[in-house]
Every structure is written in structure tokens, then in C-alpha cells.
Amino acid sequence: MSESDVKRGMVKSVMEMGGYARRIEDQYGVGIFDTLFIPIGLPVFTAEVKMVKDYAFGPTVRQLLELERVKVAAHKSGHVIPLMIGFKQGVYYFHEPKAVIDCRECFSVTSIKMSFHDQLVQYYHSRRK
């Protein structure tokens, strides 16, 4: 499964539940995060999606800078949540942005039977504790 296929499925999952989702593709928008998710009743997630190789993944330097800018602009309001999402063998890994992310440090449902939308909602609620 390609990264493009994964993103397409993520967008479809959120849209099917009545939320809004979009892949952002701009060859000239260096460092711009590649997806936007707004599940019904939850904040906006600005996310960079990466395929996981071995046990780690992470954004480019510029992507990390852009996600950090979102975090600063949101200023703890909770209205916008910058997010890194890794994907490997049917499993999503959710983590706040940082240069290198170890899958073992991520929130993950580890079930391909649960939709991406539902996993994103669970991640949101897990971080509020």
C-alpha cells in the first residue's frame, strides 16, 4: 500500500463519518503538512503522514517547523492540533510532532478492524487525560 493510498483511506474514513478531511498537495508548498482532519465535534488536526520503516518515522526539518508554528499559533487553545501519523502494516501511530518518533512511544490502537476516524477520536480523548 502506498502513502497516497493510506492518505486516501484516512480522508475517506473521516468523510464517511460526516467530518471534513482533505489531502493537501502542493509541490511548491515546501514543508506544508499533507492532511487536514476535522472529525465531527472535535478540533482541527493538521497532520503529516509518513510510512514507517523499521520502528521510527518523522517529518522533514521544514515540516517539523511548520507543525511547530501551528502549535504556537494554537497557543494551548486546543482548537488546532498538529500531529504526526505513522502507518505500517495496517497500523496507525499517532504522536505529537518531533524530529524522530519511535513507534513504541506512540498512541496506537493496533487494530486494522477499527476505522481511522475512530482511532483519531480515541487518540484525541487519550491526550486529554
Around 97, how many Cα atoms within 13 Å sit in the side-chain half-sphere? 23
Residues near 19 by Cβ (< 8 Å), separated by ≥ 6? 37, 38, 39, 40, 42, 117
Predicted pLDDT at 129: 64
Q: Are 43 and 51 in contact (CB under 8 A)?
A: no
Predicted pLDDT at 30: 78
* Cα separation, 12 vs 34, whole angstroms: 15
* Cα separation, 29 vs 40, whole angstroms: 28
Domain that holds residue 84: 3-127
Q: CATH no. for residue 49?
A: 3.40.1350.10
Mean pLDDT of the chain: 92
> Among 18-22, 28-32, 92-96, 121-125, which is the least confidently predicted range?
28-32
* Cα separation, 14 vs 105, whole angstroms: 25
Q: Kindly compute the dihedral angle of the four CA atoms of residues 38, 18, 49, 84, in this order, to the nearest 10 degrees.
A: 40
* Total Cβ atoms within 10 A of residue 119: 23
pLDDT > 90: what percent of the chain?
79
On the question of pLDDT at 128 being above 90, the answer is: no
On the question of pLDDT at 28 being above 90, the answer is: no
* Cα separation, 89 vs 41, whole angstroms: 29
Grid cell locating 99? 524530529
Number of structural domains the chain divides into: 1
This prediction's pTM:
0.93
* Total Cβ atoms within 10 A of residue 90: 11
